[in-house]
């Protein structure tokens, strides 16, 4: 008998008083004892809803679970338990790691207090005993200097350390089943590798079962014994991990495997889900050549760029943090510079300082012979049109009170682009068509679109100003692999058509290899390596670059 058996699980959500939408359409799957099962699918596939149903965390006011559904854990029917019984079981024997640790950890309590609370509530430990056990857990999950970190607040820890705290909290009561919901999505490749290795060690050491939820099949190959592929609330394929990943039977699974960029090929266009549905196989694509040439025309020259921040250190003292230290590079017209490094490496600060969203502490940024950093605000206004940025989170960067039409028309009005309002509206509709959205999107609000569509709107907003350079700051990192492929294809098309230059900032080295002509590797605010993309990936010179490449899932 399996540890967890889900049978005919149907979940619907109320949209209003008269209508509902079905999120899960009778799915069934099992999680064996002492095994790792990966639940794979894109956003909207229902995989997170399934995990929340197991945990009993669905809002009863909004979600309806079909009475014929069954969720059995170790022989007990979870759907028959009352709230108190469910909470006791799901806090102790079933635990969950959520996707975003910063929104899951309470910012006003120390991390030690939050872990100790679990131990006191479910294990009945005294305050002193819970603190000792918390120190052991922090050490087990690899938190450096646990005695110092136990009294730290979540905002004082890095993203990787926050996720480790979440794991410590989840394993505190030694659960039989650990549910990990996209636990590495927003993490750098090296931190992601560490978290994956930690979960694998804990699973073996504690003989836990793990339900690992992800949209990244590269991670699945690394950790899972069994794979369940979901789409639109249904199970499309299930089986042993090796069989599903190497010989997928379903067209959708094949599509997920092929949409993601790889290190050994750079096709002219990335395949998308639609290319594989109905059993179709897309035709082979020619290789896209990348790299720098002595004939390339320099467009942007950055010399010795530095940025320091003044931070408060206690009540009275201040200290200076050097986020960017003497960074230099040249961006050619129509080319892409990939910027990679872990969180805190300074790569985003470089992009924001170029656009004067941060005030530089030193250096120069030459564009058409003018130093952008020395221009007055009035003089820089003309250059704002020519250098634009696409942020990581399109929902946070789009005004929720503006329609898409307002979002696109506002920058054109400010910079007086277009002869009149009618001309501007025609330009906005043409840009929506260029990024693959219908003209009818003009009257809708950002919340009505998916993440990938919102990113397309953000790109269209940048294009309203007819820029020459786009800074793409982690602009595809939060997207599903198929949506990511669509946005990358769009960026390639725009570069081919308009001759745009990109500064492509990312922690995903496979995506950077696909997009970049040159790659700049940053560590602790400094450039440690800068070379043509193919040269750097084939023969990295710096130990840090080699460590980054070795941490890519499936790289070895």
Which pLDDT score, from 0 to 100, does residue 528 have?
95
Q: Are residues 542 and 482 in the same domain?
A: yes
Q: What is the mean pLDDT of residues 71-77?
A: 94
Q: Are residues 478 and 355 in the same domain?
A: yes
Which pLDDT score, from 0 to 100, does residue 258 have?
85
Domain boundary among 418, 448, 466: 466
The larger pLDDT score, comparing residue 50 to residue 391, is at 50
Across 139-150, b (16+ Cβ under 10 Å) vs e yields ebbbbeebeebb
Q: Are residues 495 and 534 in the same domain?
A: yes
**Residue 506: CATH number of its domain:** 3.40.50.300
Measured in whole angstroms, the distance separating CA 27 from the mean position of its chain's CA atoms is 27
Which pLDDT score, from 0 to 100, does residue 36 have?
94
User: Cα–Cα distance between 102 and 419 in angstroms, integer?
Assistant: 47
Radius of gyration of the chain (CA): 25
To the question of pTM greater than 0.75 for the whole model, the response is: yes
The larger pLDDT score, comparing residue 454 to residue 24, is at 24
User: Cα–Cα distance between 485 and 478 in angstroms, integer?
Assistant: 12
- Is 452 part of a structural domain of the chain? yes
Contacts of 149 (CB under 8 A, 6+ apart): 111, 112, 138, 143, 157, 161
Q: Are residues 346 and 445 in the same domain?
A: no
How far the first Cα of the chain sits from its last, in Å, is 35
Measured in whole angstroms, the distance separating CA 511 from the mean position of its chain's CA atoms is 12
* Tokens 């450096």, residue located: 144
User: Cα–Cα distance between 260 and 282 in angstroms, integer?
Assistant: 15
Q: Distances from the Cα of 350 to the Cαs of 72, 304, 361, 402, in angstroms? A: 51, 11, 12, 29
Q: What is the mean pLDDT of residues 25-41?
A: 94
Across 214-227, b (16+ Cβ under 10 Å) vs e yields bbbbbbbbbbbbbb
Q: What is the mean pLDDT of residues 149-163?
A: 83
- Is 59 part of a structural domain of the chain? no
> Do the beta carbons of residue 8 and residue 26 sit within 8 Å?
yes
Q: Are residues 448 and 473 in the same domain?
A: no
User: Cα–Cα distance between 426 and 442 in angstroms, integer?
Assistant: 11
> How many residues can be counted in the chain?
556
> Do the beta carbons of residue 145 and residue 157 sit within 8 Å?
no
Q: pLDDT category, 281, cuts 50, 70, 90?
A: confident
Q: What is the pLDDT of residues 5-21, one digit of tens each?
A: 999 999 999 877 788 88
Total domain count for the chain?
A: 2
Q: pLDDT category, 366, cuts 50, 70, 90?
A: very high
- Is 105 part of a structural domain of the chain? no
Q: pLDDT category, 555, cuts 50, 70, 90?
A: low
User: Cα–Cα distance between 8 and 24 in angstroms, integer?
Assistant: 9
Q: pLDDT category, 314, cuts 50, 70, 90?
A: low
Domain boundary among 466, 483, 509: 466
> Do the beta carbons of residue 143 and residue 18 sit within 8 Å?
no
* pLDDT of residue 160 exceeding 80: no
* pLDDT of residue 556 exceeding 60: no
Which pLDDT score, from 0 to 100, does residue 61 have?
82
Q: Are residues 480 and 382 in the same domain?
A: yes
> Do the beta carbons of residue 138 and residue 165 sit within 8 Å?
yes
- Is 415 part of a structural domain of the chain? yes
Least confident of 21-25, 248-252, 280-284, 454-458: 280-284
Alpha-helical runs (H) found in 385-476: 394-397, 404-414, 421-434, 451-463
Q: What is the pLDDT of residues 189-246, one digit of tens each?
A: 777 788 888 888 888 888 899 999 987 777 888 889 999 999 999 999 999 999 999 9
- Is 230 part of a structural domain of the chain? no
Q: Are residues 504 and 460 in the same domain?
A: no
Question: Which residues of 446-517 form beta strands (DSSP E)?
Answer: 469-473, 501-505
- Is 525 part of a structural domain of the chain? yes
User: Cα–Cα distance between 160 and 12 in angstroms, integer?
Assistant: 34
Q: What is the mean pLDDT of residues 116-139?
A: 92
Q: Are residues 462 and 493 in the same domain?
A: no
- Is 520 part of a structural domain of the chain? yes
Nearest to 480 by CA among 268, 266, 288, 252: 252
Helix (DSSP H) and strand (DSSP E) numbers for the chain: 21, 21
User: Cα–Cα distance between 338 and 533 in angstroms, integer?
Assistant: 8
Q: Are residues 433 and 343 in the same domain?
A: no
Measured in whole angstroms, the distance separating CA 517 from the mean position of its chain's CA atoms is 23
Q: Are residues 425 and 537 in the same domain?
A: no
Q: pLDDT category, 500, cuts 50, 70, 90?
A: very high
Q: Which tokens sit at 489?
A: 């294809």
Widest pairwise Cα distance in the chain: 73
Which pLDDT score, from 0 to 100, does residue 403 have?
93
> Do the beta carbons of residue 299 and residue 501 sit within 8 Å?
yes
Domain boundary among 441, 466, 491: 466
User: Cα–Cα distance between 351 and 193 in angstroms, integer?
Assistant: 26
**SS3 state at 322:** strand
Q: Are residues 377 and 512 in the same domain?
A: yes
Which pLDDT score, from 0 to 100, does residue 302 have?
95
Q: Are residues 360 and 493 in the same domain?
A: yes
Q: pLDDT category, 554, cuts 50, 70, 90?
A: low
Segments forming the whole domain that contains residue 363: 299-386+467-550
- Is 417 part of a structural domain of the chain? yes
């Amino acid at each position: 008998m399996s540890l967890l058996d889900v049978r005919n699980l149907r979940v619907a959500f109320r949209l209003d008083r008269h209508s509902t939408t079905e999120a899960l359409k009778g799915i069934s799957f099992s999680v064996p004892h002492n095994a790792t099962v990966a639940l794979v699918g894109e956003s909207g596939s229902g995989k997170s809803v399934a995990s929340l149903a197991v945990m009993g965390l669905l809002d009863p006011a909004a979600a309806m679970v079909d009475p014929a559904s069954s969720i059995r854990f170790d022989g007990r029917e979870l759907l028959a338990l009352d709230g108190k019984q469910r909470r006791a079981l799901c806090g102790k024997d079933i635990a969950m790691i959520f996707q975003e640790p910063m929104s899951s950890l309470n910012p006003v309590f120390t991390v030690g207090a939050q872990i100790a609370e679990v131990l006191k509530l479910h294990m009945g430990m005294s305050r002193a005993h819970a603190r000792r056990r918390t120190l052991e857990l922090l050490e087990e999950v690899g938190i450096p200097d646990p005695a110092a970190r136990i009294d730290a607040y979540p905002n004082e820890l890095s993203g990787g350390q926050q996720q480790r705290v979440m794991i410590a909290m989840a394993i505190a009561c030694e659960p039989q089943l650990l549910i990990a919901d996209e636990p590495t999505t927003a993490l750098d490749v090296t931190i992601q590798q560490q978290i994956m290795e930690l979960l694998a060690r804990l699973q073996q050491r504690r003989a836990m079962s793990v339900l690992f939820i992800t949209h990244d099949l590269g991670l699945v190959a690394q950790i899972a014994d069994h794979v369940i592929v979901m789409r639109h609330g249904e199970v499309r394929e299930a089986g042993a991990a090796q069989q599903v990943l190497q010989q997928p039977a379903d067209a959708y699974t094949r599509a997920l495997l092929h949409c993601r960029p790889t290190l050994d090929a750079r096709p002219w266009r990335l395949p998308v889900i639609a290319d594989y549905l109905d059993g179709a196989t897309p035709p082979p694509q020619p290789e896209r050549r990348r790299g720098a040439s002595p004939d390339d025309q320099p467009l942007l020259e950055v010399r010795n760029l530095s940025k320091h921040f003044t931070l408060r250190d206690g009540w009275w003292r201040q200290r200076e943090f050097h986020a960017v230290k003497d960074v230099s590079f040249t961006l050619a017209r129509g080319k892409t510079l990939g910027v990679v490094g872990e969180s805190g490496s300074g790569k985003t600060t470089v992009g924001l300082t170029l656009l004067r969203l941060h005030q530089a502490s030193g250096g120069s940024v030459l564009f058409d012979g003018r130093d952008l950093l020395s221009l007055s605000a009035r003089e820089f206004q003309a250059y704002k049109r020519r250098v634009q940025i696409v942020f990581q989170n399109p929902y946070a960067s789009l005004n929720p009170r503006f329609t898409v039409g307002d979002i696109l028309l506002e920058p054109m009005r400010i910079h007086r682009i277009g002869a009149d309002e009618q001309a501007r509206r025609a330009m906005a509709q043409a840009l929506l068509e260029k990024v693959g959205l219908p003209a009818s999107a003009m009257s809708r609000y950002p919340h009505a679109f998916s993440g990938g569509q919102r990113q397309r709107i953000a790109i269209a907003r940048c294009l309203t100003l007819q820029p020459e350079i786009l800074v793409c700051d982690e602009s595809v990192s939060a997207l599903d692999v198929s949506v990511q492929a669509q946005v990358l294809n769009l960026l390639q098309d725009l570069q081919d058509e308009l001759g745009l230059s990109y500064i492509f900032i990312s922690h995903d080295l496979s995506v950077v290899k696909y997009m970049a002509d040159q790659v700049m590797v940053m560590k602790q605010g400094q450039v440690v390596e800068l070379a043509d993309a193919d040269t750097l990936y084939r023969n990295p010179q710096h130990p840090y670059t080699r460590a980054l490449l070795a941490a890519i899932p499936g790289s070895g």
